[in-house]
Amino acid sequence: MTTSRPFATAVLLSLAALVYSAWVMEVVLPTALHPARTYVSELAATDQPYTTLFRTTDLVAGALAAAAATLLSVPTRTRTRPRRGPVARTGAAALLLFGVATAVDSRLPLSCTPTTDPECATRETAGLVPWAHDAHTVSSTIALCAILVAMATLTRTVRHGPALLALELAATAWTLAAIAALETGHDGWGLGIAQRLQVGVIAIWLGVLAVSLLRAPTHDAPLPAHRPLREADVRP
């Protein structure tokens, strides 16, 4: 990478992390959705008052992450830095897939809020919701799997990468358990908290990756010019 490319990549990742955290605006917006019991994606459901806002921020966050991943994946070879290995390329590709899937996710919103609307939950179970509602689950799953791969393969690049990956896996396990409990008629087990922790860790990881890229040595400075040895250089 040239010196400017890590900087541009870091800026894109930082912006992606910031925009991906737009869901925190629910603290000040009258969404009528309880953060501890609802999906983050329900903020963007088409029957919600701020659907355009949250769908737009998801689209922008995905586009920024995809752009950053594209820069990260561009092969570079210098006299002092070899071409990146397959693990790093896999991480960049996974990050790209995460960005694309997140952007697509914003175009496939939920049609209603199943955790707060019993009628919506009934229609969802019966398969009577629009196709985009069902497709949203697929695109969200792809985005999650992609970011987990990115976090795992780029863990050496990111400071505290293993800790963030472990926290993300724990949040994902909690989210899946909460969804299973909800679908079997039990309490949601803090579904909203679990999923907000899940997406929050992703945003933090994107930001930390940005900082790590800026701190990493580029080793792109030219080598010192060779000069012939003089007698004084070898005299004891």
**pLDDT tens digits for 137-173?**
999 999 999 999 999 999 887 878 899 999 999 999 9
pLDDT band for position 233 (50/70/90)? very low
CB neighbours of 153 closer than 8 A, spacing ≥ 6? 87, 88, 90, 91, 94
User: In the prediction, which pLDDT does 80 show?
Assistant: 39
Residue 218 predicted with pLDDT over 70: no
Q: What is the mean pLDDT of the chain?
A: 87
pTM of the model: 0.86
Average pLDDT estimate for 192-199? 96
Residue 200 predicted with pLDDT over 80: yes
User: In the prediction, which pLDDT does 236 show?
Assistant: 45
Residue 132 predicted with pLDDT over 80: yes
Which two tokens mark 188? 């949601």
Q: 135-151 in b/e burial notation, b at 16+ Cβ within 10 A?
A: ebeebbebbbebbbbbb
Nearest to 15 by CA among 65, 66, 69, 77: 65
Residue 82 predicted with pLDDT over 60: no
Residue 230 predicted with pLDDT over 70: no
Are 167 and 175 in contact by the 8 Å Cβ rule? The answer is: no
Percent of residues, the chain, with pLDDT higher than 70: 85
Q: How far apart are CA 17 and CA 13, in angstroms?
A: 6
Q: How far apart are CA 130 and CA 25, in angstroms?
A: 27
Average pLDDT estimate for 85-91? 86
User: In the prediction, which pLDDT does 2 show?
Assistant: 53
